[in-house]
């Protein structure tokens, strides 16, 4: 695949993923993932399976009214992408928090096979 081709397809995949997350569209998120996809998060230091990740997205909808992924800066490479962004979460009570985040994705055959999620958890008072 040429540099331009993977840059375009990886960017589109990244935007499709974040746009679906914003809409709470778990079916579209699922279509972005390869069957063997896993996700590691810095705040849990644990790897989730695809199924666990999709279930956590459904659970997250119960906790938050809305999430937006703003100021997306996407850099691509031949087998993935890195996205830096601000995630803003709005609770059902109207409370609002924003934090900085970075998502590293490995991509094969147009699907995400591995995610590494790095969140600035200091704004949520999560113990280190």
| Any domain includes 127 | no
CATH code, domain with 21: 3.10.450.50
Would you say 105 and 83 are in contact if contact means Cβ atoms under 8 Å apart? yes
Q: What is the pLDDT of residue 128?
A: 43
Q: Residue 53's pLDDT is what?
A: 96
What's the CA gap between 61 and 67, in Å, rounded? Answer: 9
56-70 tens-digit pLDDT: 999 988 888 899 999
List the strands of the sheet with 33-41, edge to edge.
46-49, 33-41, 111-119, 96-108, 80-91, 64-77
pLDDT at 43: 87
Kindly give the parts of the chain with pLDDT less than 70. Answer: 1-4, 6, 123-128
* pLDDT score recorded for residue 7: 83
**Structural domain for 7, as ranges:** 3-120
Q: Count of domains in the chain?
A: 1
In the chain, the largest separation of any two C-alpha atoms, in whole Å, equals 48
125 lies in some domain:
no
């Amino acid at each position: 695949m040429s540099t331009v081709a993977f840059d375009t397809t990886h960017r589109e995949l990244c935007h499709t993923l974040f746009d679906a997350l914003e809409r709470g569209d778990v079916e579209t998120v699922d279509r972005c993932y390869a069957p063997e996809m896993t996700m590691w998060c810095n705040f849990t230091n644990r790897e989730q399976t695809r199924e666990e990740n999709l279930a956590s997205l459904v659970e997250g909808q119960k906790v938050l009214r809305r999430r937006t992924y703003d100021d997306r800066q996407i850099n691509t490479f031949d087998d993935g992408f890195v996205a830096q962004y601000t995630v803003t979460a709005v609770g059902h009570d109207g409370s609002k928090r924003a934090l900085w985040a970075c998502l590293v994705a490995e991509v094969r055959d147009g699907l995400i096979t591995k995610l590494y999620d790095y969140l600035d958890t200091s704004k949520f008072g999560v113990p280190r």
